[in-house]
Structure 1
Amino acid sequence: MFRKEKQMPPDAGLSEMVTLIAPTSGWQIANFSELKQYRDLFFFMVWREIKVLYAQTIMGFSWAILQPLVQIVIFTIVFGKVAKVSTDGYPYMLFSTIAIIPWTYISQAMSQSSMSLVSGQSMLGKIYFPRLIFPVTPVLARLVDFAISLVVVLAVAIYYKVMPTWNLLFFPLFFGMMICIPLSVGLWLSAMAIRFRDVKHAMPFVIRMLIYSAPIVYSASSIPGKYRFLYSLNPIVGVIEGFRACLLGTPIPWTYIFPGMITCTIMLLGGALYFKRMERIFVDVI
């Protein structure tokens, strides 16, 4: 990260201020407020990311529905019909749909955010702008896909006659938590990917493993009691369980959610610190 200082020009006849851009020192947290100063560029980057996602495709935004829908059907057949995984009494399609939609967003946003600096390396050394824009852009752009894919959740809920409850008031909390997970991971891994290109090769493997670390294809109640606190430290668990409680009207399992919220907060703050610490060497290393 760089700090900008205002200085008077050497020529007293000039009325303009001179902006000096200099590297920071020590550990500091990333300046998210700087995104507001560059909001026009930020908006353009997000809009460009949205357009690039489906540029020159025949189906366009229909892919946002088709991709999770295919996964839901496969999981319903394999885990619901063949393996007969416990779902706490709910139809497996309904049970898996509520989990797969946020998981699809988290996995895609996490993957793209982690490689955002490497993908945008051609811009890094040209002009100054907040490098924070890179990992944040795909996190926000993928929200369009998430909003479209909610049509699948709505259709399945109507089919199974699920009625809304007061639990929906907590939906913004879990929605915000869902956004923070790929953002925090993206801050860490995008800064690491500049120096260690292993991140590019490790991400697909990590994403495949993470799907089994959260109650997406199975119920969290199947985890033995002595392991549940350790299990709930995974913030994805809190998001999935929170979404199910909001949409199905079941009691909100705060014992799964609070530990994940703490983990997510620590990851986000740590990622903001590490990103800014490494920002000074981005251009040199890349």
Structure 2
Amino acid sequence: MPDFRELWQYRDLLSLLTLRSIAVQYRQSVLGVAWAVVRPVVNVLIFTLIFGKAAGFAEGLDVPYPVFAFLGLVPWNFFASALAGTVQSVVGGQAMLTKVYFPRIVLPLSSMGVASVDLLVQAVLVVGLMVWYQILPSAAVFTLPAFLLLTAAAALAGGLWLTALNVKYRDIEHAVPFFVQAGMYLSPVIYPPSFIPEEWLALYYLNPMAGAIEGVRWSVLGTDPPQWGYVGVSVVATLVLLAGGLIYFTRTERTFADVV
């Protein structure tokens, strides 16, 4: 496992690299942070027309489908953005790897800053959408940080495995967008878990984002609570994946400077 005391000693470097990642992401961009607004809004419009109305996913929902879809898309976008940034973090920081020593895990951690900024911007959109549809958050909203933390842990867990592999096999970064796109349809972003047959639910919730997305929706909207046993499956899967990722990353980081 990483030396967390050493990581704490390098907290200033982590902060500096996080701010640099945010600045680089939006430098020389016409829309800048507005991209965090444009992309989910366009996606929700498409989802509402195609899946909500044409495919009938909106039938039987307790909330308007745009709200339902947006509250699935926000945590998913956070996960996808954090995962993509983490995967490219070590290769992107190769100039630092060969010049100075620092805990290598600082690189994937710092890359999650951009996803966090986008999340905050999209959270404002969620508030505006709920005001538009006159939906009040429930008392369960205080559990929202826990499910966002689960989302961040899932992104970091997958990112640690993939960024370590990406140093040696550069095919990984090309495959990630494909897996992210497929993963969105394997997660309850555009449809409720009730569409999944009961006998497949345990396998379905091995996907860490299944429990995270359901938890986010419930905490904000206060609808029927998710099946906590299956959410627990997602939590356990995330923790196992994260622990394995930390161990694998720590065991391979000493070879990064030679391979990259």
The TM-score bracket by the shorter chain reads: over 0.9
Which of residues 85, 95, 113 in structure 2 aligns to 1:122? 95
RMSD: 1.2
In the alignment, does 2:241 pair up with 1:267? Answer: yes
Deviation (angstroms), 1:197: 1.0
Letter in 2 for 1:211: M
Question: What amino acid is aligned across from residue 156 of structure 2 in structure 1?
Answer: L
Among all aligned residue pairs of Structure 1 and Structure 2, give the percentage whose two residues are the same amino acid: 37
AA aligned to 1:262 is V
What stretches of structure 1 of length at least 5 have no aligned partner? 1-28
Name the CA distance, whole Å, in 2 between partners of 1:83 and 1:270.
Answer: 39
The match for 1:76 is 48
Q: Distance in 2 between matches of 1:162 and 1:32?
A: 42
The residue that corresponds to 1:112 in the other structure is 85
Once the two structures are superposed, the pairs formed by residues 219-234 of structure 1 within 5 Å of their partners are: 219-234=192-207
Residue number among 46, 49, 74 corresponding to 1:101 in the alignment: 74
Q: Partners of 1:283 and 1:70 in 2: how far apart?
A: 41
- Give yes or no for the alignment of 1:242 onto 2:177: no
Quick check: 1:32–1:132 contact (8 Å CA) kept in 2?
Answer: no
Deviation for aligned residue 1:143: 0.5
Q: Max radius of gyration: which structure?
A: 1
Provide the residue aligned with 1:218 in structure 2.
191
Amino acid of the structure 2 residue aligned with 1:179: A
Give the superposition deviation at 1:87. 5.4
Please, which runs of 5 or more residues in structure 2 have no aligned partner?
A: none
Whether contact under 8 Å (1:241, 1:256) holds in the other structure is no
The question of 1:208 aligning with 2:181 is answered yes
Aligned pair count reads 258
> By percentage of residues, which structure has more strand?
1
Q: What SS does structure 1 have at the residue aligned with 2:124?
A: helix
TM-score, structure 1 length as denominator? 0.87
The separation in 2 between residues aligned to 1:232 and 1:107, in whole angstroms, is 18
CA displacement, residues 150-174 of structure 1 (integer Å, 9 cap, x when unaligned): 1111111111111121111211210
Tell me the residue number matched to 1:35.
Answer: 7
Q: Superposition pairs for residues 1-286 of structure 1, below 5 Å?
A: 29-86=1-58, 88-89=60-61, 90-253=63-226, 254-286=228-260
TM normalised by structure 2 equals 0.96
Preserved contact between residue 67 and residue 129 of structure 2 (Cα < 8 Å): yes
Could you tell me how far apart the structure 2 residues matched to 1:99 and 1:31 are? 35
